Chains A and B, each alone.
Chain A
Amino acid sequence: MGDYIVEMSHISKSFPGVKALDDVSFRLEAGEVMALLGENGAGKSTLMKVLSGVYTKDEGEIKLFGRTVEDLNPKRAQELGVSIIHQELNLCRHLTVAENIFLGREKVGAGRALKEKEMNREAADILKRLNIEIDPETLVGNLAVSKQQMVEIAKALSTNAKVLIMDEPTSALTASEIDDLFKIIRMLKSQGCGIIYISHRLEELQHIVDKVTIMRDGKYITSMNFKDTTLSEIISNMVGREIKEKFPHVLCNVGKKIFEVRNLNAGHMVRNVNFELREGEIVGIAGLMGAGRTETTRAIFGVDPKESGEILVDGREVTIRRPMDAIRAGIMLAPEDRRKDGLCVKLSVRNNISLPNLDLICNRFGVIDRRKENALTDKAVKDLAIRLASADVNAGTLSGGNQQKVVVAKWLARNSRVVIFDEPTRGIDVAAKVEIYNLMNQLKQQGIGVLFVSSEMPEIMGISDRILVMCDGKITGEFAAKGATQDLILECATKFESKVKQQEAV
């Protein structure tokens, strides 16, 4: 392996009242993929922001390619070859791929006119080098999220980045897209780029990672060769304690049918969906991104209109036209994207939790009873062990795991029959995941039906009692958890109707 291209030693960074980084050292070699791991709030992002020049360090030394660098700022970092791909995509949806790649560095010719052709050609070259099949003249907004991510990578590499920082790059990708991403990472590695890879999805590390660096509470904990360590060692280093069961599974007696969906149709993403849910079981819905799982949950909950179908709770048919109807029928939905659909980030945790429960805490004139509201929210915060200074802080200030708990807490404050979780553990750390699993088990034990959508195969297989697989808006498979394997699930998840055949028939 090559020389160190990044050497950060004894970096400290304080914000008023808190030491975000405390004497952290970090080194990266050329041609190496380094996983930077830690729980939410461990200081990974802060460290990377120091490296990419967003924050200035208080103490310590940064060496890039062997040379000490002072006064790092984002522009300078980019010039030196450090590029960062943030968890949230930072692309202009209304511009083309090429326009995005050259944003801020547009090539201009005589009379300051843009050299569109040249930029398109160069963008095409960059994309080709990465084996990405995207027309540089497509609008970014028309691309799938995964493709947008590729554009983001192409953009980073177009600046001749030698150090590429990826923050949770796979959280929005499907299995096959992740494979594509890994191919690109391997290629970059062979070209001598150093890659810093931040992810909570530990399972995927084995495919690409050479080394791991672990942080906790703003401190450097350890660095190891990936092949010399085990996942459980990594996890215990991250959380500072052993987590015994990654997927705590509780066995319950399966009781009577509590929820049934019959022939549900809603748009082309929900076609003829049938399933049932029984007391004491967790049913997982697996599938690829875009299989229609989220759409199914939204149609059940009355967010999107249904074309046809019946929904039965405890054997009685319920009419659901709006979310309020579903809530009254005892159906709850903790949606997929918590910042987009789950939380009002400008409102307090308290107001967020009470929002769907206002009917319980208002008198008949619609006046909110503060005492009832406080009692309700304090209980929810306590039940879910949400860690916060006060329930009056803005929901947006919490860490990912705690935000997710607030989303769940909103719904558990009232009596429910069916709780639907859509990707409940996306982007949250291991310890918080286990807490969410425990919560789902608790609901199951209380006889509440739990339906849960997830793209993480090990999670689906570890937590569910029964697994449904969706593909192309239809349910294409059903397994008891014991009988399921990743291969079987994946096979069902890719059962696309052959479009070629249809054409032949015509």
Chain B
Amino acid sequence: MEKREKQNPWKRLMAIRGMGQVITVAIGLLLLCIVFSMLSSSFYSERNVGNLLRQIAPILIIGIGQAYVLITGNIDLSIGSVVGMSCMISATLMTNGVPTPAALLITLVVCLFVGVLNGVLVAKWKVPPFIATLGTMTVARGVAQIVNNNYNTNAIGDKAQWFRDLFYYGNFLGLYNTIWIALVLFLVFNFLLGKTRTGRHIYAVGSNKEAAKLSGVNTDATTIIVYVVSSLCACVVGLITCAIAGMGTMDSGNMYEMYAVAAAAIGGISTFGGEGLLVGTVVGASIWGVLQNGLQFVGAPVAIRNIVIGIIVIVSVLLDVIIRSNRPRKKLKTESAAVAGDKVH
């Protein structure tokens, strides 16, 4: 115990499982930033950095939700549609004279219901997560379209200006509120995942559901919790999109579930479950945002941006796979160390 305290901070950091990959990806992020700042002098302007962070924030938030689900070995495809639903429901209510706080509350309840539904479908009724959330994805998009009779909403108006400021335009201590929201959500959910019983259960379910169950973990409840977290995050992002545009758009959040998977996967969350650190998702979402923003700055068309980002997703996960496939040697080493220990005894 004493010894552990004395180790230098770097070693202690690297001792955290999964930190190695996060740091590798973080170095990649750093390189990207250097490249873009050399290509464009205004990349580092104060205004762009603020905007960049504000672009990253929503991706980070949905990335957190998806990371939770992925760590349990499941997937949530409904995220993007829940973003759209959250955006449309809140805007429709506000334009129809419902007081803003009430509108937000109703939106939250509906979104969380989707999360509970996903969790119950997957955990209790054993629907494969890909199919279950594919279904709710389609339904939620339908709800987003139907709430305002298949039209985008009108502007949510002056009464809701405080809501727009709160979620997007305002700032606090020099940082946009959106960034604060992402930061607070990250800190809360990082704490939940890393330091609490619920978090430990999430990892255990993802690593070996049967063993977790036999250890007294309520695996159904754990699965439901991660889906609720995921839809909560999507709900918040939906509100942010609503605040940005000042109106509800039916196709908002389109493809966000995939962005969320990308952010989590780049950051080292294993899609097989049981592994990954939430801080990796911060790096993953940042790489995503920096690429979008930086490629835009250097004048790359949207098509090129998509191609580059797609390649980055594959390469970053491929790197991880390559690193992992070399692990058996390491395994042998620890085993023989144990055997060597045997001899001493």
Contact = CB atoms under 8 A, between A and B. Distances in A.
Contacts of A327: 216
A410 B214 CA distance: 11
A119 interface: no
Nearest to B336: A18
B161 to A, nearest CB: 37
Contact of A340 (B210, B218, B342): B210
Interface string B319-345: 000000000011111111111111101
Interface in A419-449: 431
B204 interface: yes
Interface in A55-91: none
Contacts of A399: 335, 338-339
B124 interface: no
Contacts, number: 134
Contacts of B333: 15-18
Interface stretch (B172-180, B194-202, B255-263): B194-202
Contacts of A340: 208, 210-211
A15 B329 CA distance: 6
Q: Which of B198, B214, B339 counts the most chain A CB atoms within 10 A?
A: B214
Interface string B222-265: 00000000000000000000000000000000000000000000
B159 interface: no
Contacts of A217: 339-340, 343
Nearest to B326: A16
A344 B203 contact: yes
Q: Is the interface of B mostly helix, strand, loop or mixed?
A: helix
A16 B326 CA distance: 11
Given A18-B333, A398-B335, A368 B343 contact: no
Contact of A387 (B17, B213, B275, B341): B341
A82 to B, nearest CB: 21
A366 B218 contact: no
Contact of B200 (A323, A324, A326, A368): A368
B303 interface: no
Contact of B198 (A240, A356, A366, A392): A366
A388 interface: yes
A355 B217 contact: yes
Contacts of B197: 358-359, 362, 366-368
B200 A351 contact: yes
B171 to A, nearest CB: 32
B56 to A, nearest CB: 29
A397 B275 contact: no
A164 interface: no
B1 interface: yes
A323 B215 CA distance: 7
Given A15-B329, A16-B329, A341-B211, A41 B17 contact: no
A20 B335 CA distance: 10
Q: Which 4 A-B pairs have the closest CB atoms?
A: A344-B207, A356-B215, A346-B274, A324-B216
Interface of B: 1, 15, 17, 195-198, 200-201, 203-204, 206-208, 210-218, 274-275, 329-343, 345
17 contacts: A15-B329, A20-B336, A41-B335, A41-B338, A217-B343, A323-B215, A340-B211, A343-B208, A346-B206, A355-B200, A367-B197, A368-B200, A389-B337, A392-B15, A392-B17, A394-B17, A402-B338
